[in-house]
Amino acid sequence: MDVLTDFLNWAWARHQNPLSWYIRPLFILPFCYFAYKKSVRGIVLTLLAVTSSMFWFPVPATPDPRAVALLDVERQYVGGPLTLERTVLTTLLPIWFVALAWGVRRRSWLVVATVIGAGTCLKLAWLFREAGTNAWLIVPPVALGSAVCASVLLIAYTRVRNRPA
């Protein structure tokens, strides 16, 4: 058990690096691509990449105290007791991915945009409720990631729609 605890401490320290916060929303793009191509292997690899991306970057030399507090809230949630609220919120994550894949497969860009927007809003609402003003720290990475994803998905939508039959 000490090995697992050591690994989690090592990973959470690296997750304080803001680069990991900026890269994570971008995994929506390969997930959507692989869902569109019906590539289960690609989807699984994307999910592994998004999960592991929290520790791709080095520990910041001087971690932002707000980042430490924000991630402490997330860590308490992950390691906290199993409650009805926690069960419901945790269940929303796979439902979100299934809904996103379903929207992409049906080529329902409105569903895709709605799922991404709803997931983003729910995550931010939860963080503001649990972490207070420290949650403002996550808004720039989320906003930039959402803008990039929306732009790329809009380009994909336009190309698919204008493709000759």
Segments forming the whole domain that contains residue 80:
2-162
Q: Write out the chain's pLDDT in tens, 165 residues.
A: 688 888 888 888 888 888 888 998 899 999 999 999 999 999 999 999 998 998 899 998 888 898 888 888 888 888 888 899 889 989 999 999 999 999 999 988 889 999 999 999 999 999 999 999 999 999 999 999 989 988 888 888 888 788 876
Rounded to whole angstroms, the Cα distance separating 68 from 65 reads 5
Total number of domains constituting the chain: 1
Task: Report H helices in the chain.
Answer: 2-15, 18-23, 28-36, 40-52, 65-79, 84-105, 109-131, 139-162
Task: Tell me what pLDDT residue 128 has.
Answer: 94
User: What does pTM read for this prediction?
Assistant: 0.86
Asked if 128 contacts 70 with a C-beta cutoff of 8 angstroms, the reply is: no
